[in-house]
Structure 1
Amino acid sequence: MTDVKAFSWDDLQETCDFLKNHSGETAKTAIVLGSGLGLLMDHLTILKRFAYGEIPHFPISTVVGHSGELVMAEIDSKRLWIMNGRFHYYEGYGMSQVVYPLRVLKLLGVENLVVTNAAGGLNADFEAGDIMLIEDVISLLPANPLRGKNDNRLGPRFPDMSAPLDEQWSAQVKESALELGYNLKSGVYVGVTGPNLETKAEINYLRIIGGDAVGMSTVPEIICAHQMGIRVLAISVITNESIPKSAKEFTHEEVVEVAGRAGVKLVDLVKSNLP
């Protein structure tokens, strides 16, 4: 897909105006919920919700386990934007469409972003149901969300990606995990195209290049948010072992089901560490 410029500054302004006019207020923190991780919604006070289809210029989520709505909510008196479902390159969207909501959220005043996902475990020490703090990423995606003419109002042409995830925020989450008694893992997330799950040879390759978990999202969002100066915290729920202890095959529905069960830990960690 040719996606050098799938939106204009006027498009962004139109989307922002729509959300401002219909939400009344905004928030400085946003959360992206991955497959099966909508449990957090049960812990929020919903102030306003927008189906993606009603927001000007937004794509529409087509994946099972993604509700497909942007929500203004409060949790412990903290106001948040929640992306309940995200967009993926494998759905047929270009990279600039995948990250379009983040561009909008930045213009709405978001300064902090929590990105969550369901991922396959590459590290032999990981088991289904583990939570992994993402400390770095590897992109094997065929395109970059910054490709095309750069608009300096959104960030620099060549952002430094040596530390795209906020180290102080990550350290805070590690401390919280110890206090909660959770065995929090940490590692490198590899972003791939999907939608097929990986072959055995690909799994071996991903381990060799340094991956601890693999998934089909998150990396474009981290790149885009970091370019715009947004602080980023990223967490994976390990929903299946990419090095299975049996010959059993995994389905997306099972991935969503495991994410839902493990989401309790994720909710605790997110609630305890909101700015």
Structure 2
Amino acid sequence: MLAEATGSKYDTDLQKVFEIRAKISDIHSFFHRLFPIAVVEDDSFLVFDLDSSGERYTLAKKAPSPLPIPTGIRAAFPLECYGNRAACVVSGDVFESLEGYVTIFHEFMHCHQWATCEQGLKEKLTVAQEALSRQDYSWEINYPFPYTNRRFTKTYSLFLQALAEKDSGAIAKSRRRLQRILPQPDYEYLVWQEWKEGFARFIENRIRRRLALPENHYGQETPFHRITFYEGGAGYIEYLTGQHPELATNPEALFYKMFSRTPENPVSGDSAADFR
């Protein structure tokens, strides 16, 4: 009765997720795993999950949202009301365009990060542990990064230029300089955002190319801000996975590679010891 009463109006919209996946499934193996989709409606979560066939979303739970959720939300986070399972959290208007479905798969990449290695990596991040000690659960959005610092702006501009030109030497030089000029928490935050959001955008733009949609490169312009790291991270991941294709399916190794001072070294030379 629950599904019939409140979920049926999204049946067709949710089924299109499988249609889109069929068109893009060869882009990345992570698309073989789908995650719950929570539609925010009237200050409630309508949590849709896969049925036993794995080929259909059905309404699994309806629960009040603990906080007001803004209209137009596009996010991924664990739902306390659903056993802390990671879900793609959206408002119903996401289903109104093809780009909305691209966003769903973008958020699925974050769900995959959460389900595999995100928590273990955060335990090694000073910036994350300090935020946790302050009960600052919004640090990923609100961290006071020195975006306007002149040395940082110059170095990151050169890094973005090196990525565009595929200049391996300049890329490595820029990464070494970033690690030198940034305090440890700032450098950790930079790499965290490049890895977490950069990977999702890297996959998003591959989907966009497949579906003949414009690519998303918002953030590359100055003045720099948090979204700049999405763009820099996506470009860096494209470069690194071009050099080492195995990194595309190993998010933990990818993080350590991005954190490494010497990105030109073989993958086998990187480990958590480099991070510490």
Give me the TM-score of the superposition, normalised by structure 1.
Answer: 0.29
Considering fraction of residues, name the structure with more strand.
1
Considering fraction of residues, name the structure with more helix.
2
Give me the TM-score of the superposition, normalised by structure 2.
Answer: 0.29
Bigger radius of gyration: 2
Highest relative contact order (Cα 8 Å, sep 6+), 1 or 2? 1
